[in-house]
Structure 1
Amino acid sequence: MTSHPIAPVPGKLFDDEREQRWRSRFTAVRMSRPSWALDAPAHNVYVSNATGTFEIHVWDRDADEHRQVTARRNGTTSAVLPPDGADVWWFADTDGDEFGHWVTQPWSAGPGADTTPAVPGAGDGYPAGLEIGRRRTAVGVSTDDGTTLLVHERGSADDARVVYTHTEDAGIGALSEDETLLAISHSEHGDSRHPSLRVLRVSDGDPEVVAELHDGPGKGLAALEFAPVAGDQRLLVSHERHGREELLIWDPATGEVTELALDLPGELVAGFTPDASALLVAHTHAARTRLYRYDLAPGTLTELPVAPGCVGSAEVRDDGTVEYSASSAATPSVIRALRPDGTDELLLAPPGERPPGSLPVRDVWTAGPGGDVHALVVEAPRTGDAPAPAVFVLHGGPHAADEDRFDAGRATWVEAGFTVVEINYRGSTGYGSAWRDAIEGRPGLTELADVAAVQDALVADGTVDAARCAVDGWSWGGYLSLLAAGTQPERWAAVVAGVPVADYLAAYADEMEQLRAFDRALFGGSPEELPERYREASPLTYVDAVRVPVLVLAGENDPRCPIRQIDNYLDALAARGDVAYEVSRFDAGHGSLVVSDQLDLIATEVDFVRRALG
């Protein structure tokens, strides 16, 4: 096995005051917005790093008591409560590899308590959805053989029964209030990026197909939620019939489909209010998300007066209170409650001191080869007339987006004196279906053309210095960074690639089946069918053109960007012998949930780029 130079972890990045400030943004207690049990709303579950690792915690609102539920070496982030709140369900994988099964333990139990499989007979796999009803549970399991969807009668010792199986990707969507109907997504047509919907009757015996909804090529559908009131079988659906994510209500029994025309420019996702008379709508536009209430009968839309910033998640309690999280690039996340009378107040404050804030972002729009490209820029203070060094941080996904939210990593780069540029290149969500799907058939190089356009514009207006630009990213962003090292070597003084796709052919062979299905949909086929298309998109193809220092950070147990294909790329760099590179390997999966690891990783990145830029 080839030996590769290990990236050092610096003991300190700054003087004492700044060192304490950047570290406290990671070590300060953070928590997700608590979600509650349907029939026991005082029982809540959330994720927190209070112990130094992101784990599952519960909150008893009546007693105002918080308890930790899990304590695992690589952390735990997926948990739900059944309607009665008597148990806590969480997903148990091994060392962050995402392969495992749902387990359950009593509400009152703590870390290390005995657990039992939550769905007997479901077996191990990658999660493909979960819906827990009062009487039955629906769960999805993905393996190399495809996806299996099962239904289990709660309390029964019998194994769950299979209601759907297919070699193509599928998932659990929603379970009706009376638990007789199950909405599933599927990609039997071969395009997992644009799934179709099917509603099955699962009340007893073999499943019966009740209705199908398919909008045709390039137009995906997502089952959001059945109406939560007795006797109401309407299903809220996300569609993209008009080139962006919008809403419709589908009655599978009658086939009636009602599109909801909301006069908002961005993309929409929503959920029913508890009485199903209205929707709580999250509207995302230009990297910000805000909340609205849409009353169904009159068809009226009202913006909710939530706190400033970008809303992270939100839900409506039975009394009409909207509980939500919000933050901005400058302000750390808060969890608040908007009461029916319009009072907006802090709901829950994590223990300890609040993390320090950072600088706000400014919006930059640039004419790119495929249309205007939106970027968020935080410009570091200058020490003279010259611009500060810049780091272009590319988001993962690819179907995701950078938003005006607080990010401790971004704040660290700014603390280190770097201007930070985040680009919502083609492939990003939030800018319409055509923008998201523009990378089909040519992923990687398409996004980098947008990155180049933004960089050129920022050089031209004096925001960044062309000679002092680094590119950095994780996951798909790490892939783009590594691809940039070989296809745009003249643009970058340093390259940082966290958990990247490095050798696309080997990555496809080793990655989880859900991602293989995604790749087939993205490229238009498999590597066997389109070998040249995959080679064109692979960083390994361009390894001989790399001219700048490269840092690769890799998870040993990563199922998304597996370690073998990263080793292939590192071996190719080593074989050249004339390019500087370093590697940082960590014992986790697609990133680490351990705060000390996160500190070491970001410190390693900043130190590497500082050394590369001199």
Structure 2
Amino acid sequence: MRASIAVMGMVLALGAVAARGEDGTAIAAKFGALEDVRQISLSPSGNQVAYLKPNAGPGVMVIVADFSTGQSRAVLNAANPGENLRWCRWASETRLMCKLYVAVNRSDLLMSATRYVIVRNDGTGQGYLSSGLGSKSIGGLQFVGDVLDWDIAGKPGHVLMTRQFVPEGEIGSNIERRREGLGVEDVDLESGKRSLVEPPRKGAVRYMTDGRGHVRLMATRGQNDDGYAKDEMRWFYRAKDDDKWLPFTTARDEDSDTPLAVDPDRNIAYVLGGKNGVDVLYGVALDGTGTRQVMMEQPGVDIDNVISIGRNGRVVGATYATEKRVNAFFDPELKKLGAALGKALPGQPLVEFVDSSEDEGRLLLLASSDSDPGQFYRYDKATHRLEQVLPMREPLVQMPLGKMTAVTYPAGDGSMVPAYLTLPPGVAGMAAAKRLPAIVMPHGGPGARDEWGFDWLVQYYAVRGFAVLQPNYRGSTGYGSAWYQKNGFKSWRLAIGDISAAGRWLTAQGIADPAKLAIVGWSYGGYAALQSGVTDPGLFKAIVAVAPVTDLDNLREESRDFVNFRQVDAFIGHGDHIADGSPARHAGAIVAPVLLFHGEVDQNVNVAESRLMADRLKHAGKDVTLVTFPGLDHQLAAAAARTRLLADSDAFLRRALGM
């Protein structure tokens, strides 16, 4: 194996040194830095990559690198306030298409809009891909659609896209065009010309193709009389070589019967569906019989997605998480290759196929572990050559990090809760971990779970000397319907009880010094951190909450002006759990000092939630500090903000815990 480091014009030997001797602010800057590679894509030939790299200041740039010449250049830069490039992909060997999110504030209502930017691989030909709206359009357009297919046979540089059609009219005229709803178009990215592939249908919300330019599935969702979207989603399918839509399946939002992809060779749709309390992967025939075949199942855990590869999105396997993420391949060649790469890279046991050339002869992959943020490689099947491309986080290369271990601990009712324990670098296992400062870190969601792998937040605190325990409390996904319960809000007592039990277990095992036990959480994790301070005052000696929910009714009201209000309303529910489970209403019960962080343009959880919590705590005479970040959303995706979050929280914890 020979490293091809010069491809990207960088030298890995300049990576970070060990953290010993560095002060907390310098270490915080290394962990607070955004990923050097936010997203990456391989060109159809496999000879070029394009990746998103954060600017030194605000925004992100698109870098194109050529493997054959070793040259790289910036071809696009999004640095205006409120702009954020999410991804860039190759529409052809010379043209890129990038998705741009723009935050907007209309009448004090925070919203986001999407637009597509196109650019050639030499940086020329930059422009917006028009949404098709004109001066006669009645109403606005927030989102410009999604790319369904990147490779239409015989049409290089064409993509298949959804488009939201709006009615058109003219003042003083009776002439109107009432085409309305979601349709599909063939878009020539060079000329901008559009050809209608699927006529717009009012109520259509999704389309799915077979990866070869044929639309095979469609989902519709109606509206109630109040204008809000209905819970029920109806899916329709097309048989091969037939334009007629036929009923496929009906599902409610929290049901699991969800199509993921279409396999044109097998003429099936891959669908997640429930069996024995967990999600399994079915292949459902698209020939009118509706025949279901179990393609993959795993006792006790949910299959959560398919693995696809190539420009056609060919499905090659499925994935699930037990103690570690498992990529299980249907494709025998990739199954063999994945196993071989795992052996070739013993220190990086998680191998993910990120992209491929058009012929799948060259693969782009990411190898990472709990203590390695990851390294991108290009693999050539013909030569069996594996080349290094880029590290995910260059400042952390060569820095000693903590090891993550899967553990279980007993909840109050005796249920065993799965969790991950990360110890400071140099602490050789649980037997050597004695009365350390420790953090319980519940994940966000609540419909999510933690997994084994690198986590910048966890690793920062581990390097700073903390043991960190991440509980997959009841309400987490991935462990089946019985573990999920009614979700982490409706079943908050179980969830918060499991999280508090994590702190008690750390002290009972002698891992944590009970006087130096803290809780840190983001989003729902921040909610859980605050609510644990209400239900178990004094257990945690310091609370850090990032972008937390603090009042469940307020969270509900934040969605009232959006069409998904009924789904959010049903998810949060009604009853005594609203008042009892809202920490802002019980601020007086919290005894630990509290540090809050929040972005001021957060559309997931409004900054008003943290401001309410801070005001209630101050009114109750509590120790509270609120830090807000202008112009940033829920993710706080800016190096300066994340560096401050880490440095300030570290200093706060040391003060509160007497370290």
The normalised TM-score by structure 1 is: 0.81
Native 8 Å contact 1:306 1:344 kept in 2 = no
The alpha-carbon deviation at position 503 of structure 1 amounts to: 1.9
Residue correspondence of structure 1 range 134-533 to structure 2 within 5 A: 134=158, 136-138=160-162, 149-154=182-187, 155-156=192-193, 163-166=200-203, 171-172=205-206, 174-185=208-219, 198-199=235-236, 209-214=245-250, 219-227=255-263, 233-262=267-296, 264-265=298-299, 266-268=301-303, 269-272=305-308, 279-295=315-331, 304-307=339-342, 308-311=348-351, 314-317=354-357, 318-337=359-378, 340=381, 343=384, 345-350=386-391, 355=397, 356-368=399-411, 369=413, 371-380=415-424, 387-439=435-487, 442-511=490-559, 513=562, 516-523=565-572, 525=573, 530=574, 532-533=576-577
What is the distance in 2 between the residues matched to 1:584 and 1:457?
A: 31
Q: What's 2:62 paired with? A: 57
The alpha-carbon deviation at position 114 of structure 1 amounts to: 4.2
What is the distance in 2 between the residues matched to 1:112 and 1:449?
A: 57
Larger radius of gyration: 2
What is the distance in 2 between the residues matched to 1:311 and 1:276?
A: 21
Q: What's 1:10 paired with? A: none
The alpha-carbon deviation at position 437 of structure 1 amounts to: 4.0
SS in 2 for 1:99: strand
Out of 77, 83, 89, the residue aligned to residue 81 of structure 1 is 89
Offset from partner CA, 1:435-463 (integer Å, 9 cap, x none): 23453672433211111222222221111
* Structure 2 unmatched runs, 5+: 1-18, 151-157, 166-179, 343-347
The residue identity in structure 1 corresponding to 2:103 is T
Offset from partner CA, 1:509-534 (integer Å, 9 cap, x none): 124747745533433x4xxxx25343
The alpha-carbon deviation at position 493 of structure 1 amounts to: 0.6
Distance 1:251 1:43, change over 3 A: farther
SS in 1 for 2:372: coil
- Does 2:96 match 1:47? no
% identical aligned pairs: 18
SS in 1 for 2:603: coil
Distance 1:188 1:364, change over 3 A: farther
What is the distance in 2 between the residues matched to 1:160 and 1:554?
A: 44
SS in 2 for 1:84: coil
- Does 2:608 match 1:597? no
What is the distance in 1 between the residues matched to 2:309 and 2:145?
A: 25
Q: What's 1:131 paired with? A: 148
Distance 1:437 1:301, change over 3 A: farther
The alpha-carbon deviation at position 495 of structure 1 amounts to: 0.8
Native 8 Å contact 1:293 1:302 kept in 2 = no
SS in 2 for 1:565: helix
Q: What's 1:4 paired with? A: none
What is the distance in 2 between the residues matched to 1:493 and 1:251?
A: 56
Distance 1:460 1:343, change over 3 A: farther
Native 8 Å contact 1:394 1:472 kept in 2 = yes
Q: What's 1:571 paired with? A: 615
Distance 1:243 1:185, change over 3 A: farther
Count residues in correspondence.
Answer: 581
The residue identity in structure 2 corresponding to 1:35 is S
Mean CA deviation greater in 337-346 or 316-325: 337-346
SS in 1 for 2:513: coil
The residue identity in structure 2 corresponding to 1:520 is D
SS in 1 for 2:325: strand
Mean CA deviation greater in 105-114 or 66-75: 105-114
Out of 92, 101, 109, the residue aligned to residue 101 of structure 2 is 92
Native 8 Å contact 1:70 1:112 kept in 2 = no
Q: What's 1:67 paired with? A: 74
The alpha-carbon deviation at position 197 of structure 1 amounts to: 5.6
SS in 2 for 1:543: helix
Offset from partner CA, 1:334-372 (integer Å, 9 cap, x none): 123455489573441249665324010122112334832
Q: What's 1:104 paired with? A: 117
Mean CA deviation greater in 105-114 or 450-459: 105-114
The residue identity in structure 1 corresponding to 2:571 is L
Mean CA deviation greater in 330-339 or 302-311: 302-311
What is the distance in 2 between the residues matched to 1:140 and 1:436?
A: 35
The residue identity in structure 1 corresponding to 2:117 is T
Offset from partner CA, 1:290-345 (integer Å, 9 cap, x none): 3332149x9x9996333333345634543355432232221221123455489573
Out of 32, 35, 46, the residue aligned to residue 41 of structure 2 is 35
Distance 1:123 1:412, change over 3 A: same
Mean CA deviation greater in 281-290 or 308-317: 308-317
The normalised TM-score by structure 2 is: 0.76
The alpha-carbon deviation at position 163 of structure 1 amounts to: 3.7
SS in 2 for 1:81: strand
Native 8 Å contact 1:186 1:192 kept in 2 = no
Native 8 Å contact 2:131 2:163 kept in 1 = no
Native 8 Å contact 1:237 1:248 kept in 2 = yes
